[in-house]
Amino acid sequence: MLFKLSLSSMRKMMKDYLVLLVGLVISISIFYMFQTLALNSDYTKNNAMISSIQIVFNVGAFLLAFITIFYIFYANSFLLSLRRKELGMYMVLGAKKGKISQILFLETLTMGIISLVIGSLVGIALASGIGVLLMNLLEISTDGYYPFYLPAVWVTWGFFLILFIITSTINAARLARASELTLIRAEQQNDQIKSKGIGAILVAILGVILLALGYTCLHLLMYLQALGFIVGAISCTIGTYLIFISLLPVLVQALKKNKKLNDSKLNAFTFAQLRFRVNNLTKILGTVAMLIGLGVGAMAGGLAFQQNVNLFTTVFHVYDVNLHDPVEADYQALKKMNVLEQHTYRYKVDDKAYYYLKEDLLANPLLLSTNSIQNYSADNKPKLVTDPLPKETYIVSSSKDDKGKYDAIPEDWDKAIFTNFINYQMIQGKSVLVVDQTKYEQTAGSEHKVLLAQVDDYLKYTQELKAMDERQKQLIGSITNVEAKDVYTSSKYSTYAGMYIFTSGTMFMGFFLGIAFLAMMASCLMFKILSGASRDKDRYSMLRKIGVRQSLLVGSIYKELFMVFIFPAIIGLMHVLIGMEMFSFILLDPYLNIWIPTLIFVVIYAIYYYITVQLYRGIVLPKEA
């Protein structure tokens, strides 16, 4: 009987439950997809590339779980508030509190289980589609990766079932403590209008000071490090809430006092609605602004890391091709590329050192990057190393035996040779010298060569560069007796590939985490607005009875809710735009393509705004017979 009552109640409130269900399904499906990558140790163990980003998905799952806990508690609190009057009437008619609490417990738990089933199925679909797409994007074998992964299912179901049982129990307990009169009169509470005064001014000033402090700490994160992040996050959070609590009511009151604006159409009613509503919304709007900052920030941060890979690689490497003892396959690959510049440098190797021929270096001076992470500009072009080398021998890297025996090579030559010629695994602790022609000819070691080349766009030739890199790994492995898979070539492609894999995982995690944050954030704002809709119903009914056109009332709803939605959006996006500056000491351009996550946010936010308007309109302006 109790179960039938629960199902009947759920059918009656299907629209409200659907909003909750959508947010939960998004959260559960993304959480499951993260777990398939974070928990599959056998797969990551056999794929060194994917193992490097395993921690990214663990962090993503933790952050998603944290926000989901807040979302579920808030959403269930909203659903309970919608049913207080109905449940109070059951008690007045003789139903026992214990039975009513059991109904509520069953409803909450049933909705949780339904969302788990749907979310798991969607998660498996995402894992088989998006997860495999990520592997293909990173050119990683999918052997051993299973979209349906039982440990991921157990973790997902275990975490969310515990969460649903806790929230169901809390809802039932809250209902048990409430009296029948409190439940029946829940919708008759008056909206409070806070008086203005010196207190509001002080709160506003404190909010502005805390926001400024938070932004300053994030801007100086390179110097303040962990302390700056902690202080910045706390200051921005508290400052945001204080700004909404103190300044938002003042802003609404200023709109109301603007006579020209207030007297237009139904603006007097719209602003009055906002004035009554705003004090009950300040806290949730502050929360929504922070969640917008987190959601858009997660997407923008993940995208910025991935988009900066090419910039990073260009800072570290001027030459696109770096080959020791190139073979015929390498020359054939170069013929397929548009080579802008190509030079070959000779060197000899004996049991003590590597000897690079000075005359080759002077005949074709090396290029050196003029950019750095701290001082980057797209206008900075590589420079030729032109320092003279008058002496017979220079040392670049010394073994214990050669320390102090030769003059150090000029700094620019040192940087260029280190970047383009030296592989630490390859030299095996030997000295690296630059010698003139006479000494080079007197050296009895084996002769080798290194080829450097620049192409028009190295990203067009990643397959050829990858093959070259594999051959270089085999060469270095044969010299050092190390397996090729354990060799790092320090080439431009190798640097790019290593960073691209990690940052692609970060972008992947950031986008899905951001979408989940934004969906849950918009749902929370929707819940809060709809929870007060029943109190607004009489106001709209009265206006309709005195002859106000339906179209004007609908326009008033659109305008009022637009203002409620736009306030946290502006503050949240401001947090993102200023907060991204904290990555400036590790990213060359933290704002690269930031319009993409901003556009995604606008689309998601607009969809939820439209749905909220339609649901609110259905409550306050029911269809006339």
Tell which wins on pLDDT, 625 or 164: 164
Which residue reads 């204080």 in tokens? 242
Contact assessment for residue 430 and residue 317, using Cβ atoms and an 8 Å cutoff: no
Q: Can you read off the two tokens belonging to residue 389?
A: 């080398």
Closest by CA to 451, choosing from 590, 285, 322, is 322
Contact assessment for residue 110 and residue 9, using Cβ atoms and an 8 Å cutoff: no
Q: Can you read off the two tokens belonging to residue 45?
A: 């163990």
Q: How confident is the model at residue 592 (pLDDT cuts 50, 70, 90)?
A: confident
Sign of the dihedral defined by the CA atoms of residues 112, 561, 250, 205, in that order: positive
Q: Which pLDDT does position 625 carry in this prediction? A: 47
The enclosing H or E element of 405 equals none
**Dihedral angle, C-alpha 5, 8, 13, 14, nearest 10 °:** 130
Tell which wins on pLDDT, 621 or 333: 333
pLDDT digits (tens, 9 = 90+) for 518-535: 887 787 788 778 777 777
Tell which wins on pLDDT, 10 or 609: 609
Q: Which pLDDT does position 366 carry in this prediction? A: 92
- End-to-end CA, the chain: 34
Estimate the crossing angle of helix 267-307 against helix 492-531, to 10 degrees: 160
Q: How confident is the model at residue 449 (pLDDT cuts 50, 70, 90)?
A: very high
**Is the model's pLDDT at 36 over the cut of 50?**
yes
Q: Which pLDDT does position 555 carry in this prediction? A: 85
Closest by CA to 31, choosing from 55, 62, 69, is 62
**Strands, sheet with 431-435, edge to edge from the N-terminal-most edge strand:** 321-324, 446-455, 339-349, 353-357, 431-435, 393-397, 407-408
For 594, which DSSP code? T
Query: pTM of the entire structure?
Result: 0.76
d(CA 375, CA 381): 13
When pLDDT is averaged across residues 358-362 and rounded to a whole number, the result is 92
Q: Which pLDDT does position 406 carry in this prediction? A: 80
The enclosing H or E element of 408 equals strand 407-408
Domain borders along the chain are: 1-189, 194-317+491-625, 318-490
When pLDDT is averaged across residues 416-441 and rounded to a whole number, the result is 86
**From 409-413, 502-506, 557-561, the region with the lowest mean pLDDT:** 502-506
Q: Which pLDDT does position 175 carry in this prediction? A: 72
Question: What are the two backbone dihedrals, phi and then psi, of residue 190, each rounded to the nearest 5 degrees?
Answer: -85, 145
Contact assessment for residue 108 and residue 76, using Cβ atoms and an 8 Å cutoff: yes
Specify the pairing of strand 431-435 against strand 321-324.
unpaired
Q: Which pLDDT does position 194 carry in this prediction? A: 52
Tell which wins on pLDDT, 271 or 97: 271
Q: Can you read off the two tokens belonging to residue 621?
A: 């302006």
Closest by CA to 394, choosing from 346, 357, 419, 360, is 357
**Is the model's pLDDT at 7 over the cut of 70?**
no
pLDDT digits (tens, 9 = 90+) for 108-138: 788 888 888 998 898 888 877 776 676 666 5
d(CA 224, CA 123): 40
Closest by CA to 576, choosing from 517, 525, 508, is 517
**Is the model's pLDDT at 383 over the cut of 70?**
yes
Question: What are the two backbone dihedrals, phi and then psi, of residue 373, each rounded to the nearest 5 degrees?
Answer: -65, -40
Question: What are the two backbone dihedrals, phi and then psi, of residue 245, each rounded to the nearest 5 degrees?
Answer: -65, -40
Q: Which pLDDT does position 231 carry in this prediction? A: 87
CB atoms within 10 A of CB 230: 12
Which residue reads 């050192």 in tokens? 353
What mean pLDDT is reported for the chain? 81
Residue 367, SS3 per DSSP: strand
Q: Can you read off the two tokens belonging to residue 538?
A: 């009489």
Contacts of 491 (CB under 8 A, 6+ apart): 317, 321, 322, 465, 468, 469, 472
d(CA 112, CA 177): 23
Tell which wins on pLDDT, 472 or 16: 472
Sign of the dihedral defined by the CA atoms of residues 436, 442, 445, 446, in that order: positive
Residue 32: strand pairing partners: none
